[in-house]
């Protein structure tokens, strides 16, 4: 029968895994920021983050023609300028 005791080594390993996960999240966040600054076209995830809106709201903007978009290999890309104009109108 195995013991359920947690050792110091277990805690160290857990800490290292946790730090690694946090670093990945921070790196992804930096990548999202870089994409939103560098590109004229934003992926859905970046556009939602920039506009602080749900996927459904972004889809509604696309369907109603308020925002230009491109579909590439199943992913939607939204025009950054159009999104900014919408944000300024509100």
Q: What is the pLDDT of residue 60?
A: 94
Which ranges of the chain does DSSP label H, i.e. alpha helix? 8-38, 44-51, 55-63, 80-89
CA distances from 35 to 12, 22, 44, 67, 89 (A): 35, 20, 12, 18, 23
Q: What is the pLDDT of residue 70?
A: 93
Both tokens of 55, joined, read 């996927």
Can you tell me the distance from the alpha carbon of 9 to that of 90, in angstroms, rounded to the nearest whole number? 53
pLDDT in tens, the chain (90 residues): 567 899 999 999 999 999 999 998 888 777 666 655 556 899 999 999 888 899 999 999 999 999 999 999 989 999 998 988 887 775
Can you tell me the distance from the alpha carbon of 20 to that of 16, in angstroms, rounded to the nearest whole number? 6
């Amino acid at each position: 029968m195995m013991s359920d005791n947690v050792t110091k080594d277990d805690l160290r390993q857990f800490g290292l895994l946790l730090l690694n996960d946090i670093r990945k999240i921070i790196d992804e966040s930096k990548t999202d920021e870089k994409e939103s600054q560098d590109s004229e076209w934003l992926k859905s995830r970046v556009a939602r983050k920039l506009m602080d809106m749900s996927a459904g709201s972004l889809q509604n903007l696309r369907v109603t023609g308020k925002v230009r978009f491109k579909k590439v290999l199943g992913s939607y890309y939204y025009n950054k300028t159009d999104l900014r104009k919408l944000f300024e109108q509100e």
